[in-house]
Amino acid sequence: MGFFESLKRGLAKTRNSLMSGFDVLFGAYDEVDDDFFEELEEILVLSDMGMETAARIVAQLEQETIDRHLTRPAQVRKMLLEDLEKLMGEQDNTIVDDDRMSILMMIGVNGAGKTTTIGKLALQLKEDGRKVILAAADTFRAAAIDQLQVWADRAGVEMISHQEGSDPGAVVYDAAAAAKSRHADVLICDTAGRLQNKKNLMNELSKLFRILEKEFPDARREVLLVLDATTGQNALQQARLFSESAPITGIILTKLDGTAKGGVVISIASEMQIPVKYIGVGEKIEDLQPFRPKEFLQALLAEE
């Protein structure tokens, strides 16, 4: 199965929800009017595109129909896809460099799919010819270290860990030393997934950043926030909260295949001004895919 077909399959629940709404809406009107646009906005909101994003898109469509003297629903449908492509723009989905060490700091609440994402990224990077080391710095969640070890074994990469409850800084320090001695290309650091106390979270992350800055001053550093797409607009709220406590450089949205709320990708990409780097559209390793807005929108909205 090709990349696009895999993406389309993974977005099936959201696509089917949107398309069924579109079929009813566009079949019910011969010409666009206020009621048409009101119903269109409701469909977009139900896909978890968010009130703000949906309202902005529909307002722009309304103005365009006036400026261009358009009246047919089919014309609006074509413009919707074009406007969404402009809204999302190009997303830089690179996370590693070829000519220097790359450090990926993975953050996100428990249950978002962070550990699975780390494992899939590790295997993909290894298959690209890079030497990868994992740092099990989520030392407070029961079984977090064991779960990451399973993925390290599956990906065939080395993992540095201490006992449960250990100092995460000590784990990252030892992982940095191992990365140096093994001439690793990528160090992926798992971190504690909690937001209950943002001050503690920021202090902990700051400590890890300082260690890595000292050990690898010239490395590329990415802070990647993993979000569960099935939570819809709650994922957007998590992104806002984490961005207050950490210098997020990219977002990874998981479990898009399990939800009809895939519109949240559009909401996050347009409102957060943080690039969406990867999306998860299934359980397989290859189902964690670099995010390409145009292909995503085509898979989600293009007519057969």
DSSP string, 100-146: S-EEEEEE--TTSSHHHHHHHHHHHHHHTT--EEEEE---SSTTHHH
Residue 189: inside a domain: yes
Q: What is the pLDDT of residue 5?
A: 82
Q: What is the pLDDT of residue 200?
A: 75
pLDDT tens figures, 26-50: 889 999 999 999 999 999 998 888 8
Q: What is the pLDDT of residue 138?
A: 92
Q: What is the pLDDT of residue 300?
A: 87
Same domain, 84 and 128: no
132 with 188: CB under 8 angstroms? yes
pLDDT tens figures, 153-204: 999 999 999 999 899 999 999 999 999 999 999 999 999 876 556 677 778 8
Same domain, 78 and 126: no
Same domain, 61 and 189: no
Same domain, 138 and 246: yes
Q: What is the pLDDT of residue 60?
A: 95
d(CA 79, CA 62): 10
How many domains does the structure of the chain reveal? Answer: 2
d(CA 154, CA 166): 24
25 with 31: CB under 8 angstroms? no
d(CA 45, CA 250): 24
- Kindly report the number of other CB atoms within 10 A of residue 184's CB atom: 21
Residue 245: inside a domain: yes
User: What's the predicted TM-score (pTM) here?
Assistant: 0.92
Same domain, 76 and 183: no
Residue 276: inside a domain: yes
d(CA 177, CA 162): 14
Residues of the chain with confidence (pLDDT) below 50: none
CATH code of the domain in which 125 resides: 3.40.50.300
**Domain membership of residue 219 as a residue range:** 102-291
Same domain, 130 and 232: yes
Q: What is the pLDDT of residue 196?
A: 53
